[in-house]
Chains A and B, each alone.
Chain A
Amino acid sequence: MRFWRESYIVFRRQLRMNLRNPAWVIIGLLQPILYLLLFGPLLKPLIKQFGATNAYTFFVPGMLVQLGIFGAFFAGFSLIGEWREGVIEAERVTPASRTALLVGRLIRDILQLFVQALILVALGYAMGMRGSAGGIVFGILLTLLVGGACAAASNALALTTKSEDVMAPVINMVMMPVLLLSGILLPMTIGPKWLLDISAWMPFRWVVDAVRTAFSGDFASSPMIWGTVWAAVLFVLAVAWGTSTFRKENA
């Protein structure tokens, strides 16, 4: 009870600041929309080769996961600013739960992601995407889970590095293989076998596959199970890491 009250106080404060300065929210949303508008049409003539029929039903799930991963990766940057101004220290000197200090921020990130996901799905639908309603809901939930994991990791990274100059290259370094190996833009199955084998080690690939199969309404498939398991595992690990950095005695 107390934990949720404290999380809510932190969440409300974060939301208030976000609404006052929504630049990041808009930039974060603009990126997948541009992909959808400018890259989507390029997929249309190629879509038959993927074994899919609708380019947007293929592409929107990838964009959803991309939004979840990359939008959330940047969540930590605002934390560095807060840390520098002594906000984190001031919060840590109160009796509030350290986990609540993180969770309040995560709820803000997840809410933001949720709104962005709705806009993206609506836009995709307008452009011709079709899918099972239950699958779309599940796909969004999976996106929120993996986005929450990335936001927690980003916050943890922010409190560990305490410097935008260190954090930006680290995120870039992580982002490139994630983007290239998870089949967000093109399915890994059209590539050579060695590339497909490598991508099997990339947890986010399974999440992308899972969201794609969810959109098609196929809930019992193996990518679905693997993707869900991976998303849950990543979430638990990232939250544990994030909490430990807030708790850490020299954070």
Chain B
Amino acid sequence: MIHARGLVQTFQTREGKKKTEVRAVDGVDLDVAEGEVVGFLGPNGAGKTTTLRMLTTLLRPTEGTATVAGYDVVKDSEQVRRSIGYVSQAGGAFSGARAGDEVVDHGMLYGMKGAEAERRGKELFTQLDLDGLWTRMPKNMSGGQRRRLDIVMGLIHEPTLVFLDEPTTGLDPQARANLWEHIADLRRRRGATVFLTTHYLDEADALSDRIIIIDHGRIVAADTSDNLKAQVAGDLVDLEVSDAELVTAAAQRLDSIAEAPRHGLQGVEIEGNHVRGRVQRAGKAVPGLLRDLHDADISLESIEVHRPTLDDVFLTLTGRSLRDAADTSPAGAPGATTKEN
């Protein structure tokens, strides 16, 4: 559905008299198959939206090529536009116009007849739980309703490929959970291919078949969430040692089964009475570790095992935490399964 090769976007910025060239997107290759839901993950400013704008024909690539839905984004931009739905961060319905009017006009700009656009729009309103809001102005809607209205506009011409740019930014936890359901429905019910950008780890994890991670304008990884986690991190084992004098001894025991330190991955760490290290298949290795510790008379206050998170993946790949890079994930978000600590 999407094939991009060597996409580059440069901007000129001016500081005083000195002009500098910023490579917002710096050689992006990506492939998305039909029917996939792909999460495009990266911190703010990593180049997500810029890449998306190139794929949706809103921005001409400085270098590189991309075909979207079988058409070249530069040469056949009109055909690309016909085939895709795009829900931008800003939305697309004017706050002071009636929702239904905006939807119908949008459909008509795709060449639909007025009556057809209205029928389809009302159908989508029902599917996205917007019943009764046809004549309401977006400024009088809740954040979640506005977002769903934006999605209705993106779907009015029945595209087979849908781009969603930061679909849940700014929504409260309930509205997010609700929107996730609707996004999951895009494929379940209409078999659409979905390409969504996000800087929320839990969102990428919950919605996507496959995750593409971008940082500083470059793709640093592309795989399923499970594979990414399995490849790079291992489980985090956190031991709390009762006797402060035995912490080093405990660290040695953990070290014998832990991953060796390498780029982006620290070895066994000691912090107060805590000893932490990454262990492959902790479920298998931990019983042996416990026997070891028992034999050495090292008693524990607690032991915790954390499955690796996407943040661990990001940390391993880039040497910094995604949450530090974009500390915006709302606390208490539903289904925040990747954040056990």
Asked if A13 and B97 sit within 8 Å, CB to CB, the answer is yes
8 Å CB contact of A85 from B90, B105, B109 = B90
Cβ of B111 and Cβ of A20 under 8 Å apart? no
A87 and B94: CB pair below 8 A? yes
Residues 9-37 of A at the B interface (beta carbon under 8 Å): 9-10, 12-13, 16-17, 20-21
Stretch of A43-51, A88-96, A141-149 contacting B (4+ beta carbons < 8 Å): A88-96
Partner of A95, one of B82, B88, B91: B82
Q: Cβ of B94 and Cβ of A91 under 8 Å apart?
A: no
**Contact A95-B90, Cβ < 8 Å, known A17-B96, A89-B58, A249-B58:** no
By beta carbon, the residue of chain A nearest B11 is A250
A13-B97, A95-B81 are contacts. A86–B109 as well, Cβ < 8 Å? no
Q: A17-B97, A95-B81 are in contact. Are A90 and B105 (CB under 8 A)?
A: no
**Known contacts A6-B109, A9-B105, A93 near B57 by CB under 8 Å:** yes
**Of all chain B residues, which has the CB nearest A100?**
B109
> Is the pair B96, A21 in contact by a Cβ cutoff of 8 Å?
yes
Interface string of B29-70 (1 = CB under 8 A from A): 000000000000000000000000000111110000000000
When the two chains form their complex, are residues A95 and B92 in contact, meaning their CB atoms are under 8 A apart? Answer: no
Contacts of A95 in B (CB 8 A): 78, 81-82, 109-111
Give Cα distance in the complex from A86 to B56, angstroms.
Answer: 14
Q: CA separation between A10 and B105, bound complex, in Å?
A: 8
Tell whether A218 is near chain B: CB-to-CB under 8 Å.
no
- When C-beta atoms are compared, the residue in chain A nearest to B60 turns out to be A249
Q: Which of B86, B92, B101, B153 contacts A13 (CB 8 A)?
A: B101
Docked complex Cα distance between A115 and B163 (Å) = 42
Interface residues of B in 220-264 (CB under 8 A from A): none
- CB A92 to nearest CB in B, in angstroms, measures 6
How many residues from A make CB contacts under 8 Å with B?
26
Q: Does B106 lie within 8 Å of A82, measured CB to CB? A: no
In the complex, what's the smallest C-beta–C-beta distance from A51 to chain B, in angstroms? Answer: 49
Asked if B316 is an interface residue, CB under 8 A from chain A, the answer is: no
Q: Which residue among A86, A89, A94 has the maximum number of chain B CB atoms within 10 Å of its CB? A: A94
Q: Mark B70-108, 1 if CB is under 8 A from A, else 0.
A: 000000001001101010111111111100011001101
**Least CB separation from A82: chain B residue:** B94
Once the chains are docked, how many angstroms separate the CA of A133 from the CA of B165?
57
A16 CA to B271 CA in the complex, in Å? 65
Whether B96 and A20, one on each chain, are in contact in the complex, defined by CB atoms closer than 8 angstroms, is: yes
Q: Which A residues touch B82, using CB under 8 A?
A: 95
How distant is B120 from chain A, measured CB to nearest CB, in Å? 15
Looking at the assembled complex, report how far the CB atom of A24 sits from the nearest CB atom of chain B, in whole angstroms: 13
A100: shortest Cβ distance to chain B, in Å?
9
Q: Which residues of B contact A82 (CB under 8 A)?
A: 94
In angstroms, Cα B109 to Cα A17, docked, is: 17
Tell me how far the C-beta of B66 lies from the nearest C-beta in chain A, rounded to whole angstroms. 14
Q: What is the interface of chain B, defined by CB distance below 8 A to chain A?
A: 56-60, 78, 81-82, 84, 86, 88-97, 101-102, 105-106, 108-111, 150, 153
Can you show 7 pairs from A to B with CB atoms below 8 A apart? A9-B109, A13-B105, A21-B96, A86-B90, A86-B150, A91-B106, A94-B106
3 nearest A-B pairs in the assembled complex, by CB-CB distance? A86-B90, A90-B92, A249-B60
